[in-house]
A and B are shown apart, each in its own frame.
Chain A
């Protein structure tokens, strides 16, 4: 009897995970923590945002879940040809909302990362910079802007840029640093940049980060946005 109960318990867990993470572009689940964030039920989701990054940022902030996004674009101008994503769901799951976002945006997929955060990426290629693992990147009593500015002191990041003949470049409107600026300390040992960005987004309550790579005037540019 106990064996049957255990089997049924296991079966129901499998069912919930499968149901809640049914992907459009094939979500990859690996190394899940005890709680699969994609299965979380969400209510009153209203997203009317331009582009995939805007929609993901809005969703992450609404639901207080960490979402990281990396994408490769043919050129700077292509980022301006995205569409407005509209989602209105009274009751849904994180997985279903993500599926709707990547369906409307087209060309994107998502997965639950090892950290438990959601990672969204362009299907035609990921920015491998987020997999770079710094040997010694210290985050001690730094706010979000200081962390962002100190990225250029990471030798591994600079090497990646050199190896890929890319330069860094971020554009912003100036109000990105007015909120979520508490000083934090983080253990970065053995973590990839993507994982570190997950942690930064979580503890600063920004909940979103993005890295994208594009070509501008024939040159590779990488933007790292911790907002």
Chain B
């Protein structure tokens, strides 16, 4: 713990995840001065001290909670990112589903880690596809509320490009780095079809994602 002499505030820095109790106590000081008592002569002035106790929790990134998803179909319009900006891939046919996650901690119930700039790494490994989907790796940063938006899309160059039986299964691993080690936050099975993509949390059973497209 350090104390800022200017603000008289103390800063407790967490050493590792968990909970602790912080107790701050001041040294004894003279409570009254002036006409009430003379600090230079006995009897001594009344003294006092203050103390305060409170719980603290050091949060550690533990998992990603899926908060909401939004499907946007495209029929020749300019494709947009989840934040509404131009995705830079032109006017297409198909869909984009934006999945919003919140980074949460180890507590029960889990609490959001409201800190911007925490890097989340995404690895998408294609397990089966009939339209030549490819693997992907990328990074996203949390916003001030600890949220990230994941852009999931299946797009075609014309209105007839995506066949009704379009299919791919992919394992999506979302992770971050905690104290120099990779921490897996969530594993999803992504199932893309011609009209939508479903997101299934398979963190507890990572092999539970199909390896064949019908």
State the 10 A-B residue pairs at the shortest beta-carbon distance, nearest first.
Answer: A80-B130, A80-B213, A169-B161, A174-B153, A171-B131, A79-B130, A76-B163, A175-B136, A216-B163, A170-B157
B155 touches A173 (CB 8 A): yes
Given A79-B131, A174-B96, 7 extra CB contacts under 8 A:
A49-B135, A76-B166, A77-B130, A80-B130, A171-B155, A175-B151, A217-B163
The answer to whether the Cβ of A158 comes within 8 Å of any Cβ in the partner chain is: no
Interface contact B136-A172, CB-CB below 8 Å = no
Residues of B within 8 A of A169 (CB): 156-158, 160-161
List 14 A-B pairs, Cβ < 8 Å. A50-B129, A53-B134, A58-B135, A76-B130, A76-B165, A77-B165, A167-B158, A168-B157, A169-B156, A171-B94, A171-B155, A178-B138, A212-B132, A221-B161
Tell me if B132 and A225 are in contact (CB < 8 A). yes
Interface string of A49-91 (1 = CB under 8 A from B): 1110110011000000000000000001111110010000000
A176 touches B130 (CB 8 A): no
Of chain B, the residue at the smallest CB distance from A84 is B211
The dominant DSSP class at the A interface is mixed
Which A residues fall within an 8 A CB radius of B? 49-51, 53-54, 57-58, 76-81, 84, 145, 149, 167-178, 210, 212, 216-217, 221, 223, 225, 227
**A145 neighbours in B (Cβ, 8 Å):** 88-90
Q: Is the CB of A50 within 8 A of B155?
A: no
In the complex, whether B212 has a CB less than 8 A from a CB of chain A is yes
B45 interface residue per 8 A CB criterion: no
Interface residue? B37 (CB, 8 A): no
B: contact size bracket: 35 or more
Taking a contact as CB atoms closer than 8 A, the residue among A79, A175, A176 that contacts B129 in the complex is: A79
- Across the interface, which residues of A come within 8 angstroms of B167, CB to CB? 80
Whether A176 pairs with B134 at a CB distance below 8 angstroms is yes
- Measured in the bound complex, the distance between the Cα atoms of B98 and A170 in whole Å is 22
B55 CB, min distance to chain A CBs, angstroms: 43
B133 CB–A CB distance under 8 Å: yes
Residue pair B151, A50 in contact (C-beta under 8 Å): no
- Interface Cβ pair total, 8 Å cutoff: 103
For the complex, give the distance between the alpha carbons of A144 and B131 in Å.
Answer: 20
The reply to whether B130 and A174 contact each other, CB–CB distance below 8 Å, is no
Which residues from 76 to 93 on chain B have a C-beta closer than 8 Å to any C-beta of chain A?
Answer: 79, 87-90
- CB neighbours (8 Å) of B130 from chain A are 76-81
Alpha-carbon distance between A212 and B132 when the two chains are bound, in angstroms: 10
| Contact of A170 with B156 in the complex, beta carbons under 8 Å | yes
CB of B162 within 8 A of chain A?
yes
- Is B120's beta carbon under 8 Å from chain A? no
Query: What are the residues of chain A within 8 A of B192 when measuring CB–CB?
Result: 173
B212: chain A residues at CB < 8 Å are 80-81
Interface positions, chain B 118-162, Cβ under 8 Å from A, are 126-136, 138, 151-158, 160-162
Cα–Cα, bound, A82→B160 (Å): 24
B96 neighbours in A (Cβ, 8 Å) = 174
CB–CB B154/A149 < 8 A = no
Cα–Cα, bound, A164→B162 (Å):
20
Q: Which of B79, B96, B134 has the most CB of A within 10 A?
A: B134
Chain A residues whose CB sits within 8 angstroms of the CB of B126 once the complex forms:
49-50, 54
A171 and B213 form a contact (CB under 8 A): no
**B133: contacting residue among A81, A173, A212, CB under 8 A:** A173
What are the residues of chain B within 8 A of A168 when measuring CB–CB?
157-158
CA distance A77 to B163 in the complex (A): 9
Q: Which residue of B lies closest to A181 (CB)?
A: B88
Asked if residues B155 and A174 are in contact (CB atoms below 8 Å), the reply is: yes
